[in-house]
Amino acid sequence: MQIGFPLHRCCHLHLQPPPLKLPSSTTTTTTSLSSVHRVVPFVSSSSTSLSTSDLAADPADSPTAAFRDYQDLFASQRSETAEPIVLRPVHGSVPADFPIGTYYLAGPGIFSDDHGSTVHPLDGHGYLRAFDFRGGDGGACWYSARYVATEAQREEREAATGRWRFTHRGPFSVLQSGRRVGNLKVMKNVANTSVLGWGRRLMCLWEGGDPYEVDPVTLETVGPVDLVGHDRGGRRRRDRGRGAGAGVGVEVAAHFLKPVLRGVFNMPRKRLLAHYKIDTKRSRLLMLSCNAEDMLLPRSTFTFYEFDYNYELKQKKEFVIPDHLMIHDWAFTDNHYILLGNRIKLDIPGSLLAVSGLHPMIAALAVNPSKPTTPIYVLPRFCQEQGRNWSAPIEVPWQKWALHVGNAFEEKDGTGNLKIQLQASVCSYQWFNFQKMFGYNWHTGELDPSFMNIVNEEEFMLPHLVQVSVELDKKGACCGCSIADLSSRWKKPADFPAINPAFSGKRNTFIYAGSSSGTRRFLPCFPFDSVVKLNSLDGSVKSWSAGNRTFIGEPIFVPKGVEEDDGYVLVVEYAVSKRMCYLVILDARRIGEVGEVVAKLEVPQNLTFPIGFHGFWANR
């Protein structure tokens, strides 16, 4: 989600959107955009240099300032802090009842090397940050950050000099220097997407390889961990739906593709997803993998794993689905695994260009909006259900691309019907584009903010929060399904839904997410600048906004008591105008009220880091 470039790569921008009338207060309640508009793409000219006086003369709310701020948000950080440092509070203080534990935040840290190449934010090497609350010391918070020393990171960074030379293209990038044409070094495991603390072990995960274990105290990299890739023991079930077999031809193709995938992509046979779930009721860690060859075949093989606290595999279930799907996040309930299917297809011309090295490898895939619906797969978690063919999806009559899941739960009504509800962030197929995520332009290596700030008058295309409802009768047949906005009072882009983790898999009331106040004329939708708290029962909304030229990352909830919103919300604030980062502690109950900001802790300017992806709170 981040990339960095020198300021002289700013550009001339020609934008004239109509004015956006929004509240100017940094603390808002239930408001929505009073008008919609279409953002004209930013026009970049890398050859244009801006002097220091030119930059200083730019108004804070101008196209040039917006472009510059967007680049600064994705600026690389090469420094590490092996020894923890105490963060200085610039507002309030860490409360005495704040839980003892550590907030770990994963994300990329480096985007440009010392030889002229840049990479997509998703291809940046993993940079793990830790905010350690030890109790005592007057409520001090200790900060440390280190790169995850993956095999690719050790190859691309010279340990003696600290200089970088990118040799792997990465699936979303094209190198500007070094070997470009015919470069088959693509799938480098950058361990940059999420971080997991489970069973006294800490791991950084990526979407296409094994997790890397990291020491939870020193942040030193221990090494890769094979959790799922080599047919481990334990109870195992392979479930195939009626007609779910891919056919002899596909099986033969898969057989021949395996060595290609392993050799060209350097991918394990089973591709572990970066999103995991924790079933607090059963004290289990749930993980999901896909078969590597399924990326290129008209079928999808999903394997679910359930581990106890000692990483003993308690259950393994495999499902083969006759559809070409891409899953990033997923959900579980007491008795089901749930997938919101994103349909994709193989792009033959793109594949040829991708293999040549002239286009990113992700060009081999494209979204497939062939059906005007969203497929939902409700898969049996423990036993085979009678009377329902789970391989046939429940088609929700609304075509949306699923991004992240906040929570899912199931309940039986008085008639014995099973009702499943799921809260998630989704976007439009018309907007989602593998090659343009975060506005990355692989031709120039720059980021175009306009892609993330498109507003369509007819359709809400950008990420937003929805609630999906599915009803199954006693025999398991679907008797109703729907998808609707999570709140009719919040019509703004939002993503990274989070809840109190104690309510995962159970009925919950509150959802916290990153969102936008819309007050920035030329960055009205993204990057996010607000934390929004939605009440799923009455639709009410409250929010806190960071302020002008200040953005935020993913919020996470830290429980304090037994009630659902009794706790704190942690979020990193990126003040690009100051080139500073702060860890903000919000009182979850007081969001949208006076006193919502409990504390604001300053990361030293020399250690300011780029925006992160996903974090994890580990109690001690």
Answer for the pair 612, 1: CB distance below 8 angstroms, yes or no. yes
- Chain centroid to Cα 84, Å, comes to 26
Cα distance between residue 270 and residue 274, in whole Å: 13
Peptide bond into 527 cis (omega under 30): yes
- What amino acid is encoded at 439 in this protein? G
The count of other CB atoms within 10 Å of the CB of residue 180 is 14
The count of other CB atoms within 10 Å of the CB of residue 153 is 23
Cα distance between residue 294 and residue 308, in whole Å: 28
Cα distance between residue 584 and residue 141, in whole Å: 12
The count of other CB atoms within 10 Å of the CB of residue 412 is 11
Burial class (CB in 10 A: 0-12, 13-18, 19+), 53: exposed
| Residue pointed to by tokens 């393994």 | 316
> Is 404 labeled as ligand-binding?
yes
DSSP string covering 437-455, please? Answer: GGGEETTTTEE-GGGGG--
Answer for the pair 195, 213: CB distance below 8 angstroms, yes or no. no
> Is 328 labeled as ligand-binding?
yes
Helix (H, G, I), strand (E, B) or coil at 313: strand
Answer for the pair 63, 522: CB distance below 8 angstroms, yes or no. yes
- What amino acid is encoded at 203 in this protein? M
> Is 115 labeled as ligand-binding?
no
Feature table: binding site for Fe cation: 328, 404, 614
Annotated binding site: 328, 404, 614
